[in-house]
Structure 1
Amino acid sequence: MALIPKETVDQILHLADIVEVVGDFVSLKRKGQNMWACCPFHNEKSPSFSVAPAKGLYKCFGCGKAGGVVQFVMDIEGSSYVEALKYLAKKYGVEIREEEKTPEQQLAQNDKDSQYIVSNWAKDHYHKLLLESEEGQSIGLSYLRQRGLNQQTIQTFELGYSLDQWDDLLKAAEKAGYERKYLEKTGLTIKKDDDQGQDTGRRYDRFRGRVMFPIHNVAGRTIGFGARTLKANDKSAKYLNSPESDIYHKSDVLYGMYQARQAIRAEETCYLVEGYLDVLSLHQGGIKNVVASSGTSLTESQIRLIARYTDNVTVLYDGDAAGIRASLRGIDLILEGGLNVRVVLFPDGDDPDSYIRKVGDQRFREHLENHSKDFISFKTDLVAREAAQDPVKKAEAIRDVLQSIAKVPDPIKRQVFLQQTSGTFGIDEQVLITEYNKLVKSAGGKNAPQSTGPAAAQPASRSQQSSAPARPLSLEEEAEAAMYGAPSDAFAPQTLDAGSGEEVEPVPDVLQACEREIVRLILLYAPQQLANEVSVAQYLFGQLEENVFLTPIYADLLHLCRTEMEQGRWPDVRTLIQHGRGDIRQLVSDLATEKYELSPNWTTHQIYVPRELDLLQQACDNAVLRLNKCTVQRELATRLDALRQPMDEADLMETLHAIKLLKQMDNQLGGMLGTVIPRSG
């Protein structure tokens, strides 16, 4: 994969003005030092979306979205990091000269570009035939009109028609100057070989006499086609899709995502249907946040694609019981991907397309609202009805539901689902938890805790969540890491016991708060001078000495700040907000943004309120004292716990002496912080 040189990335980030970029999408108004607007990522009536020009970042205090200028483009466009950089480069006139490719790489890139070009040409060719040719109008267009589709929908999705001829597309493409090999590589034409695999020279169109549904990637480029035959006696498949190619990978694509992505983000949910016409009819009916799996089983790549835009998926089923059963496995994958899944059923004999045409847009929306049900409850009710009178089937049904619950990464949701399942089946919750833990243990404990009993369904601590196993990197993420000169594991969450296989001890909330405050002060005030002309960063790093932070994300950010200092630079929000790791970007945004500002009227009325900048020495001293006090209390708790274990007299005396000293230190630190009142007299 060709990479954008680091120097070009730096130039893009230097020129990109976050106020200008955000202002292209929302109307910003200044209030104090920051700019404010209603959030473009969720519906709200009063502005909670803030842009800080001086820090180069944005944050919504409603939905929590935050980051720098690149992250904003990624969020608003649903694009990758590389795509966002290219967007900004185009906006600010920066020429991207990708690092020189090898001849083989250049040839492969040219080959893919040619496939995109010929696919786009074919899409235009089919669309023109639908609207202008006699056959296209009388057969293709009349069919689409019969299905209730209007001209705007046909234009939006660039629908087309392929003539019922062996080589119409082939002849037109060659006349337009396109090479046969690209028509074959994209699957638009087929090469006929003899029994020995030799080229006979015969070539013909793959799609003939069919309504054409162009398939787009998220950038809007045509990558393939779905095609429906209109012949009543046609013995071939009703629907025919483009074969896999260099530009079309069926498992990575959802039909309609290009047209739906903005609506999915705005509505904060994605409706998932099965067919092309389901998407078209719902989109035309005003439900634009809809995509289709195109009749194939859902894949992890498709689920990750949805997750770029929303955490909420509603699957729309027709009333066919066999079809529902066949789809359950795919929904388990959605659960495993961490998304919230709901289900809506339609009456027997109806699918989303037929139902919205039958009842109209308004009643269809009402049906979605009134019949939406979370997936675990839906599946529990479904299997419970099927096994109601058979104890053996009932036991199998319970295990089936528990396997779906085990796919849910969120421990609190698992607990709720276990309670619901207990009520539906009329079985003791503790029995379910025991059986659940057996399933998890036999499966290797991919998502859930390993302990047995009620604790199995309890939420993990924040430190445990942040120490989750690193997922594999995509090629784009590896490229992003390389752009910053980082190793490819730079995106993976760092853990204290990487590779050891040992359980990470939960980090108490109070210690996390202490570590967070140290990092915040260094990030925001690193170069500010304290007493004796020592900077905030120098003072705090000196006080920390070799202390190791136990919260992984704070340890990582502290390390980044220290690295910046070692390289002769102050830690800077504008730099770190562009870091390759999303969790680092989020943390920097959280630490660097404030929801409230002092009104300038306070100064006008001579009301003086001390700013943190005026009290930095005190803030740094208190942060260090609190961290030290927390460390002492943790050690004290460890020593007190040791007293419960058998030990010889020498160890007992040593432990008691240590406890005494630790208590003295704890009291001294409390006195310095003002949290301990000294005894009088």
Structure 2
Amino acid sequence: MSLIPKEAVDQVLALADITEVVGDFVSLKKKGQNMWACCPFHHEKSPSFSVSPAKGIYKCFGCGKAGNSVQFIMDVEGTSFPEAIKYLAKKYSIEIPEEHPNPEYAKEQSERDSLFIVSDFANKHFQHNLHQHEQGGIGMSYLKQRGLSANTIKKFELGYSVDEWTDLTDTALKAGYQQKYLEATGLTIVKEDGKKYDRFRGRVMFPIHNVSGRVVGFGARTLKTNDKKSPKYLNSPESDIYHKSNVLYGLFQAKQALRMQDMCYMVEGYLDVLSLHQGGIENVVASSGTSLTEGQIKLIGRYTQNITVLYDGDAAGIKASLRGIDLILENGLNVDVVTFPEGEDPDSYIQKVGDTAFKAYIKEHAQDFISFKTSLYAAETKGSPVKKAEAIREIVASIAKVPDAIKRTVFFRSCSLIFDIDEQVLISEYNKMQLQERQQPQQQNLPEGIIPPPPAEIAPEKPVSDVDLLKRYEREIVRMLLNYPDRVLEDGLNTCQYMLEQLEDVEFRTPLYARLMELIKEKLCDGNLATVEDFINHPDQEIRTEATNLLSDPHELSHNWETHQIFVPSETDLLPYGAERAVLRLKWRNVELMIKGEMEKLRLVTDPQEQIQQLTFIRNLKTLHCQLGDMLGIVVNR
């Protein structure tokens, strides 16, 4: 078990606001009583991810992820319960009492958590070097020379690795950190002969944070001008916590601005991000030298659907990046492009012209990606019909990535005007591409001459079993008890009292729902009604997940019904009727299963007297079954 005291955990659970916690990772929009967004756990274009502020839960009706604030951090970060609690405690300025690690606790810590902890130690060590070590002045001089203020250096936690072979490794091992985690994060390199040394030496350090602000890796710039063998920039290798394709430099610091401005500026390098952020353009991120990936685009898509790519004034670099931007179009985001004068990049240009002129330049020179690409190719293909035809196909291929039909139509029209070509020709070429894509075999890697197997036949639907039907009826009882425990039905009884009284002699056969019912009964025996928090904060993962599912509703009535004075009764309006029906259905199904069970027993009875007794019992059960069926309006063969 975690060494975090229960009182601290309870305080975190009480203060953690689900809307604020989830809102740090996705852009939520209010619809009805709940907040909605595209799910951060799977790719989707229509929002199916719901957050209920009143109940303190989230639920994706697409992939099924569900839970409370702590579970969300565990899901989105892939971390343990203690680490999720610590994250929320830090967010809400709750002091967690000092832990006293012991061998058992250390064993429980997950490998990922250990990598995070080691990375955090290294980050603090590099910052200490920059500000306190005698060699730190070298790094500080460079950062000041690049125009970075003390506030920017602090906000982005910049540091310095001293020019010694084992400075970080020795310090970490002395502090009790294990070598295997230093090696797993790439901070320490171990040679075959057992010798070890620091990966980063004599470099300015740029810590790379994930969306929640935890350090997952580092970028490092050498300050040695005479060392031709070492690369100028060196990054952490891939690890269990650092995947370059799913990380954007500066996103943690930019995420609030991305939501507020509804725009993301995409640059290439660390210093581009730092200079623009310092200049008041905080909604900026960098791909850190890697080609733009689908994972990075999805990260941006959590906060805004609009991206403006700020290109260096390098034609070759622009051409190399165009295919990556097709991915943005394919994911349904809007893309604008800004290029700078030749020889300039965002960092150098903002330093040259200042913040105000830089912002004005972006506003004046931004153009949509398709128009930019069309103009770029048009300038290169003058006088060459062959090149012009190839360029048109390239642009049509980009337009084909756009999922929105109206946007495609606008882009086709723009392209036809720039290239002076009939719009219908472009559309015909697009249709041809789409047809070829559909006709391509599903299995691209089959050996020559092998015909792909035909698609599998759709298996007929299996009939629903008695056990599954009973589970549905038990689930409905528990769902109503969780959602409406204190609603008064009749004779002064609330839902909880009424249902438990009616089902006193009914045993739940589904283990999970039997456990939930026991929790509800225990609370009532103590004179209390079970609350939402009792279930969504329960230590049992299975109970937490199922309770969240039962408390989530994918459908909400539109306010337009009220505006047009159309009355649609809600479930609460019909609760007395619904509760009675739910109880009757469960009893009816239970009696039906009892009849089947007793019929099976009858086959094994050989004594005539016992047979008569068994038949009498079955006849009484059938009479009860018919009575319950009549009350439900179900026709039962007598």
Residue 212 (structure 1) aligns with: 205
Cα shift at 1:71 = 4.4
Aligned to 1:178: 177
1:499-538 equivalences in 2 (<5 Å): none
Residue 254 of structure 1 aligns to a residue whose secondary structure is coil
User: What letter is aligned with 1:429?
Assistant: E
- Residue in structure 2 matched with residue 133 of structure 1 by the alignment: 133
Q: 1:602 matched to which residue of 2? A: none
Q: Does 1:233 align with 2:226?
A: yes
Q: Which residue of 1 aligns with 2:165?
A: 166
Larger Rg: 2
Q: Please give the residue correspondences for 1:164-563 in structure 2 after superposition, counting only pairs within 5 Å.
A: 164-193=163-192, 199=193, 201-235=194-228, 236-444=230-438
CA distance in 2 between partners of 1:108 and 1:187 (Å):
23
Q: Deviations over 1:250-271 (max 9, x none)?
A: 1111111111111111111111
- Structural mapping, 1:137-156, within 5 Å: 137=137, 139-156=138-155
Q: Is the 8 A contact 1:74 1:81 kept in 2?
A: no
Aligned to 2:452: none
Give the SS at the match of 1:444.
helix
Could you say what secondary structure the match of 1:592 adopts?
coil
Q: Is the 8 A contact 1:338 1:408 kept in 2?
A: yes
Equivalents in 2 of 1:381, 1:172: separation in Å?
A: 56
- Secondary structure of the 1:223 match is strand
Return closer, same or farther for 1:402/1:588 CA change in 2, 3 Å cut-off. Answer: farther
CA apart distance, 1:82: 2.9
Task: Write the deviation string for residues 453-477 of structure 1: whole angstroms up to 9, x where unpaired.
Answer: xxxxxxxxxxxxxxxxxxxxxxxxx
Q: Contact (CA 8 Å) 1:316, 1:345: kept in 2 or not?
A: yes
Q: Report the aligned-residue RMSD.
A: 5.1
Does the Cα contact within 8 Å between 2:220 and 2:234 map onto a contact in 1?
yes
For residue 191 of structure 2, give the secondary structure of its aligned residue in structure 1.
Answer: strand
8 Å CA contact 2:206, 2:220 repeated in 1: yes
- With over 3 angstroms needed to count, the CA separation of the structure-2 counterparts of 1:314 and 1:76, relative to structure 1, is farther
Superposition TM-score, scaled by structure 2 size? 0.60
Shift of the 413–499 alpha-carbon distance from structure 1 to 2, 3 Å rule, reads: farther
Report sequence identity in percent: 54
Check conservation: 1:136, 1:163, Cα contact below 8 A.
Answer: yes
CA contact (8 A) 1:260 1:289 kept: yes
**Partner Cα distance (1:303, 1:70) in 2:** 26
Flag the 1:431–1:410 CA change in 2: closer, same or farther, 3 A: same
Task: Give, in whole Å, the separation in 1 of the partners of 2:163 and 2:125.
Answer: 14
Encode CA deviations 1:311-363: one digit per residue, 9 max, x unaligned: 11111101100000000011011111221111111111110001111111111
CA–CA distance in structure 2, aligned partners of residues 173 and 288 of structure 1: 34
Note the C-alpha offset of 1:594: 2.1
Deviation at 1:17, TM superposition (A): 10
Report the AA paired with residue 255 of structure 2. R
Alignment of 1:87-98 (within 5 A): none
CA distance in 2, matches of 1:595, 1:66: 20
* Residue number in structure 2 paired with 1:592: 557
SS at match of 2:307: strand
Helix, strand or coil: the match of 1:226?
Answer: strand
The answer to whether the Cα contact below 8 Å between 1:119 and 1:223 also exists between their aligned partners in 2 is yes
Q: CA deviation at 1:134?
A: 2.1
1:169 partner amino acid: L
State whether structure 2 residue 117 is matched by structure 1 residue 114.
Answer: no
For residue 591 of structure 1, report the CA deviation from its aligned partner. Answer: 2.9
The whole-number CA distance in structure 2 between the counterparts of 1:274 and 1:75 is: 36
Question: Any conservation in 2 of the 1:229–1:239 contact (CA below 8 Å)?
Answer: yes
Distance in 2 separating the partners of 1:204 and 1:83 = 33
Query: For 1:321 and 1:110, how far apart are their aligned partners in 2?
Result: 47
CA gap 1:393/1:22 in 2 versus in 1, 3 angstroms: closer
For residues 285-308 of structure 1, the C-alpha deviation after alignment (integer angstroms, 9 at most, x for no partner) is 111111111111111111111112
CA distance in 1 between partners of 2:435 and 2:357 (Å): 46
Look up the match of 1:476.
none
Task: Give the TM-score taking structure 1 as reference length.
Answer: 0.56
Measured against aligned partners, the alpha-carbon deviations of 1:554-607 in whole angstroms (never above 9, x if no partner) come to xxxxxxxxxx9xx99xxxx999xxx99xxx99x967733527978xxxxxxxxx
What SS class does the counterpart of residue 195 from structure 2 fall into?
Answer: strand
CA distance in 1, matches of 2:280, 2:225: 32
Aligned counterparts, 1:557-572, within 5 A = none
Q: Deviations over 1:402-457 (max 9, x none)?
A: 111111111221121111111111111111111111122223389xxxxxxxxxxx
Deviations 1:118-163 (A, max 9, x none): 11111101101111122111x1001000101001110111000011
CA distance in 2, matches of 1:596, 1:440: 41
Give the drift of 1:110: 2.7
Task: Specify the SS of the correspondent of 2:348.
Answer: helix
Paired with 1:126 and 1:379, the residues of 2 have a C-alpha distance of 42
Amino acid at match of 1:591: E
Q: After superposition, what is the alpha-carbon deviation per residue over 1:2-40, rounded to whole angstroms, capped at 9, x for unaligned? A: xxxxxxxxx99xx8899x6558999xxxxxxxxxxxxx9
Alpha carbons of structure 1 residues 241 and 430: separation in structure 2 relative to 1, 3 Å = same
Structure 1's 141 and 307: CA in aligned 2 closer, same or farther, altered over 3 A?
same
- Mapped partners of 1:300, 1:499: distance in 2: 33
Residue 316 of structure 1 aligns to a residue in which SS? strand
User: Secondary structure of the residue that 2:208 maps to in structure 1?
Assistant: strand
The residue matched to 1:399 in structure 2 has which SS?
Answer: helix
In structure 2, the CA distance between the partners of 1:415 and 1:498, relative to structure 1 (3 Å rule), is farther
Aligned equivalents of 2:183 and 2:74: distance in 1? 32
Distance 1:70-1:384 versus aligned 2 partners, 3 A rule? farther
Q: C-alpha separation between the residues in 2 aligned to 1:242 and 1:612?
A: 58
Secondary structure, aligned partner of 1:443? helix
| 1:168 counterpart letter in structure 2 | D
Q: Secondary structure at the match of 2:190?
A: strand
Instruction: List alignment gaps of at least 5 residues for structure 1.
Output: 1-10, 27-39, 43-47, 96-102, 194-198, 447-496, 502-523, 530-563, 599-608, 618-681
Partner SS, residue 134 of structure 1: coil
State the shift of 1:612 in Å: 4.6
| Separation in 1, partners of 2:438, 2:31 | 44
Letter of the 2:559 partner, please give it: E
Give, as a single letter, the amino acid of the residue that structure 2 aligns with 1:147: R
Separation in structure 1 between the aligned mates of residue 555 and residue 126 of structure 2, nearest angstrom: 50
Residue 126 of structure 1 aligns with an amino acid whose one-letter code is: F
Q: Is the 8 A contact 2:205 2:220 kept in 1?
A: yes
Q: Is the 1:299–1:333 Cα contact (8 Å) retained in structure 2?
A: yes
**2: CA distance, partners of 1:332 / 1:180:** 42
Q: Distance in 2 between matches of 1:265 and 1:74?
A: 24
Amino acid at match of 1:122: A
